[in-house]
Structure 1
C-alpha cells in the first residue's frame, strides 16, 4: 500500500493559515491553524492527472487569481496516487469508505475521516459510517491519533518506530483545525500527545510519515520529494 497525500486547500479572501514552530516534550513541530469560516477544498487531480507537487497545485489555482499559502500531504495513496479510502471532492465521492482493518498504518483501526462541511471534523470511521455526515470534502486516513480525548489504544510510549509525521486535529465545536508536522522523527505516542496535551484537541487523525512535507509561503519553506497524490493547504488571493 502506498500513501495518499490529499491536498486540502482553503480560501479565505482576507485570511491565511497561521503557521508557526512549536516545541513539545523535547520535540519540534510546525503547526498551521485554519478556521471553519474559511473556504476549505480538496484537490486531487489537474487537467493532466494527479497534481503530484505543491507547485502544480499553485499552477492550477493561478487562473482563479489565487496562490498557495500553506500545504501538506494528507492521507494514504496507492501506487497510481489514487486514494486508499474515502475521498470526497466538491460533494462528489471518488472512492468509497474502507471499514475493515488491514495492513499498514491505514489499517491500524480505529482510523478515521477528516470532514469539511459546516464545520471541521475528525470522525472515527465506524462512527462516520453510522452517521453519514454531510461533507463537501472528505479524506479517510489512519490511524486515529486521539479519539474522544483518549490516545489510540495501540500506541506505546517507548516505541522505537520513529518517523517524521503529519496529521490534523480539531476542536470539539469544529470551529478550528490544526495541521501539524514533526520537524524530527517521533513515534505515534509522542505525536498523539502533541494534539491531545500540547494543542488540547479531543480528536486527531494521522495523515502520513516518511513522505510528510510542508509548504509555507510566508516562511519560504518548501519541502521537496517524490510526486505525491492529492495534498493539504490554504489558498489566498494573489
Structure 2
C-alpha cells in the first residue's frame, strides 16, 4: 500500500498547498461523536432547495422519514452508474462547492453528487484519497481526536461498477491494487451488520449529516438528512432500513447534495472532496 506519489498527484498536492484560502475548507471536527456539534448551524433552513416528496422521473433520489427525521436517499446502481471522486479543476483550484463543480461538467451525465469526507483548510482531504486512479493522500492509520479518529474509521472505494466500504485497518491489510476512486472518512456507522460500538443510541447532538452504505446487491446508498439527525439514528437507518452490512459517515452541517433530476443544488458552505455518481452511457436505465 505504500507507493510513491505520481507527478500528477504531487502537482495537485502542490496546488492545494499553495491555493488561496477562499474557498476555505472545514477543519476536521474536534469533538466526540454524538456530543457537542453546533446544532444551531444544522437548521433545515440551511438547505438551498426543498426535497421532492417522491422520487421524480429522471432522479436517483427519493425522500423518506425515519424516526421522525426527513431523509433523502439516493441509489447508485452498478448496472447504470459509475462513481468517481472530484476535488479540483485542471488548474488545481479546489471546486469548493457542488455549484462550482456543476459548471465544469456536462450536467446530463451526472445522476447526483454529494460532499465526501472531512477535510482541512484549503480543501485537502483528511486521510486516504484517490482520484482517477491517482493517490493524492495516503491512508491515515494514526490516532487522534474527533469523529474521523473514532476507530474504526473506513474507506469507501471502487473500480468500475464494484464498490466497497471497509474499515481502514482491513483495507490496509487486504487491498493490493489501487482502486479507481477512494476516500477515507470516519467513523464507520455500521460494521459487518453491527452498529459502531462508540455511537450513542440517541445522543443529544443533532445536525445535518450524510453517509454512504453498500448493500448486499452491490448498490451504493447515499443518505443525507434534511432535518437534524443524531449519529445513532443515521446508523440505524443504514442497518435497519437499508440493510447495508457496512456504512460510513461522511460529514455534518456542510452535508450537501446535487440532484439534477429535481434541480436540487445545496449550498451549505465550502466543501472539500466530492463524490460524483455518473450515468453509464453504455447502460439503459
Q: TM-score range by the shorter chain?
A: 0.7 to 0.9
Superposed displacement of residue 3, structure 1 = 4.9
User: Is the contact between residue 3 and residue 229 of structure 1 (CA under 8 Å) also seen in structure 2?
Assistant: no
C-alpha change, 1:41 and 1:158, in structure 2 (3 Å) is closer
Residue by residue over 1:9-47, the C-alpha shift from the partner in whole angstroms, topping out at 9 and shown as x without a partner, is: xxxxxxx76100011122110010012232221111103
Specify which of 119, 139, 142 is matched with residue 77 of structure 1.
119
Q: Which moved more, 1:104-113 or 1:45-54?
A: 45-54
- Say which is worse superposed, 222-231 or 92-101, in terms of deviation: 222-231
- Cα distance between partner residues in 1 of 2:145 and 2:216: 30
**What is the match of residue 27 of structure 2?**
2
Give the secondary-structure state (helix, strand or coil) at the position aligned to 1:156: coil
Structure 2 residue ranges without an equivalent (≥5): 1-25, 30-57, 281-285
Q: Tell me, yes or no, if structure 1 residue 93 matches structure 2 residue 135.
A: yes
- Pick the structure with greater CA Rg: 2
Shift of 1:225: 2.8
> Once the two structures are superposed, what CA deviation does each residue of 1:84-104 show, in whole Å capped at 9, x if it has no partner?
100011111000000123111
Query: Secondary structure of 2:102's match?
Result: helix
Question: Counterpart of 2:202?
Answer: 158
1:218 paired to 2:243: no
Determine the C-alpha separation between the residues in 2 that align with 1:227 and 1:67: 24
Matched, 1:192 2:199: no
Structure 1 unaligned segments of length 5 or more: list them: 5-15
The equivalent residue for 2:247 is 204
Whichever structure has more helix as a proportion of its residues is: 2
Distance 2:275 2:99 in 1: 13
Q: Is residue 82–residue 279 contact of structure 2 (8 Å, CA) maintained in 1?
A: no
TM-score, normalized by length of structure 2? 0.74
Counterpart Cα distance in 2 of 1:233 and 1:194? 22
Please tell me whether residue 181 in structure 1 is matched to residue 241 in structure 2. Answer: no
User: Separation in 2 of the partners of 1:183 and 1:203?
Assistant: 22
Q: Please report the TM-score for the alignment, with normalisation by the length of structure 1.
A: 0.87
Structure 1 pair 194/227, CA: closer, same or farther in 2 (3 Å)? same
For structure 1, which segment, 101-110 or 196-205, has the greater mean C-alpha deviation from structure 2 after superposition? 101-110
Q: How many residues align?
A: 225
1:134-180 deviation per Cα after TM superposition (whole angstroms, max 9, x unaligned): 3110000000000000000011113101111001000135x200000
The 5 Å alignment of 1:1-238 reads 2-3=27-28, 18-37=60-79, 38-48=81-91, 49-62=93-106, 66-118=108-160, 119-134=162-177, 135-173=179-217, 175-236=218-279
- The structure carrying a bigger strand percent of its residues is 1
The Cα of 1:234 is off from its aligned counterpart by 2.5
Contact preservation (8 Å) 2:187, 2:248: yes
